């Protein structure tokens, strides 16, 4: 499971988040860099608020429900990264490659029911798909998504272009 990131959090709201974490068993940690404002250890996750007004939570390796509840509380204070879906299914497409002149083009699509929208967000988290990564990074990401496959969410390959 990946961590979570929230952006554009006002300082006053960040103080409310910090108070929530501390009042629910978190402990204040030592700030480790010039860009950090505060750091709180909460269960097996560390929440760090930065001068850039971003908040990052490391993953909960034990999948502690208290960490997920803290994430929900933060979402309620700052708003979710995404708008909740209003349609029964969500569909997306993306392509990669340089086209016929230079090389192959690959097009992929995804369709999933709105009921697993939140689970996909938790599985993928702040995945950085615009950077080059080692195979294990992509394999781990796929494994997390693979756990969500049901009769209504399946992977299908398409041919090359």
pLDDT-derived band at 160 (thresholds 50, 70, 90) equals very low
Query: Is 98 in the same domain as 46?
Result: no
- pLDDT tens digit sequence for 58-76: 988 888 889 989 998 998 8
Asked whether residue 152 is domain-assigned, the answer is no
Question: Is 8:53 a contact under the CB 8 Å cutoff?
Answer: yes
**Among residues of the chain, what percentage have pLDDT more than 70?**
87
Residue 95's domain spans which residues? Answer: 89-146
Query: Is 94 in the same domain as 74?
Result: no
Within 13 Å of residue 59, how many CA atoms lie on the same side as its CB?
11
Query: Is 67 in the same domain as 107?
Result: no
Q: Which of 78, 113, 133 is the last residue of a domain?
A: 78
Query: Is 72 in the same domain as 95?
Result: no
- pLDDT tens digit sequence for 93-132: 888 776 666 777 777 888 888 888 877 777 776 677 777 8
Record the pTM. 0.64
The two structure tokens encoding residue 143: 């494994």
Query: Is 47 in the same domain as 113?
Result: no
Does the pLDDT at position 18 exceed 90? yes
């Amino acid at each position: 499971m990946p961590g979570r990131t929230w952006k554009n959090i006002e300082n006053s709201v960040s103080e409310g988040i910090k108070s929530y974490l501390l009042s629910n068993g978190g402990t204040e940690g030592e700030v480790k860099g010039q860009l950090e404002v505060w750091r709180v250890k909460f269960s097996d996750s560390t929440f760090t608020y930065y001068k850039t007004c971003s908040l990052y939570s490391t993953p909960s390796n034990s999948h502690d429900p208290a960490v997920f509840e803290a994430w929900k509380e933060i979402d309620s204070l700052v708003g979710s990264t995404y708008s909740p879906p209003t349609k029964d299914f969500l569909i997306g497409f993306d392509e990669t490659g340089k086209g016929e002149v230079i090389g192959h083009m690959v097009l992929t699509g995804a369709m999933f029911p709105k009921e697993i929208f939140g689970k996909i967000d938790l599985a993928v988290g702040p995945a950085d798909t615009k950077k080059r990564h080692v195979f294990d990074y992509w394999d781990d990401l796929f494994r997390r998504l693979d756990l969500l496959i049901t009769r209504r969410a399946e992977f299908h390959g398409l041919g090359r272009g």
